[in-house]
Structure 1
Amino acid sequence: MIGTLIEKEQVDKFKIIPAEIDNSEKFMSRLQSALRLGNEFKSKTDIVFNTEEGPMRIETTVWSLTDKYLQIKHGILIPLRSLIAVEY
C-alpha cells in the first residue's frame, strides 16, 4: 500500500492537503463500512491521505463520519477530499 506509515497520534503534525482527485463520494460507502467495523467489531482501517510531505498512511478505527470529514481517536479530523485510499 502507498504512503508512509505513521502513528495516528502524529496526524496533526502534518498539513493535510486535498488529493489530486477528490474521491470523497467514491470512498463514502467504504468509510461507512469502516465506521461500522470500528464501532461494532473494533476493527482497524488503513487510510491513506495527502499531506504537503506526500501520502501518509495510518491504521486506525473510524470513530465518526460526516459528508466532509472522518474522525479518528482524540477528535482528529481528516478531510475526505484528502483521501487517497481506504482499505480494511
Structure 2
Amino acid sequence: MESNDIQLIEKEQVHTLHFPSDDILVKDAEKKERQAAIDRAISLGNLEHHKVRIYFSDDQGKKRVDTTIWAVTDTAIVLKQNTVLPIHRIHKLEI
C-alpha cells in the first residue's frame, strides 16, 4: 500500500463515508493478523489512550485515520463519539 495513494482524514469524517460489504482482506492469515492488531490497539486505547493509525478503504479509495479505538464489536471498531468503522474494510493498523 503506497502512502501517496492514501487520503488522511479526521475521525469526525468517518461517519460520512460509505463502506462496501466485501472484506478487503482475502487470506485468513491476514484477517487473523488484523484482529490481533485490533485487540492490541483496544488494550492500549483503554489503558493509555494510545492513538493508532488505521488504514482502510471506503467506496472511494484508501484512507487513513489516526485515532484511539474505544471499543470493538464482532463487526466494527468504535472510535470517539460512537463513530463506527467496519472491521472488514480495515487493511492494517500501526500501533
- TM-score tier, shorter chain, comes to 0.7 to 0.9
**Unaligned ranges ≥5, structure 1:** none
Deviation track 1:24-72 (CA, whole Å, cap 9, x = no partner) reads 4321111111011111111101001111110111000000112211100
- How many residues are aligned here? 88
Greater Rg by CA: 2
TM-score by length of 1: 0.88
Between 1:12-21 and 1:24-33, the stretch displaced more is: 12-21
Alpha-carbon separation, structure 2, partners of 1:65 and 1:20: 19
What does residue 18 of structure 2 align with?
15
Of 45, 55, 59, the residue aligned with 1:48 is 55
What does residue 70 of structure 1 align with?
77
Larger strand percent: 1
Of 31, 39, 44, the residue aligned with 1:37 is 44
Q: Percent identity?
A: 27
RMSD after superposition = 1.6
Question: SS where residue 47 of structure 1 aligns?
Answer: strand
> Are the aligned partners of 1:70 and 1:77 in contact in 2 as well (CA < 8 Å)?
yes
**Unaligned ranges ≥5, structure 2:** none
Question: SS where residue 34 of structure 2 aligns?
Answer: helix
List structure 1 segments (4+ residues) > 6 angstroms apart after TM superposition: none
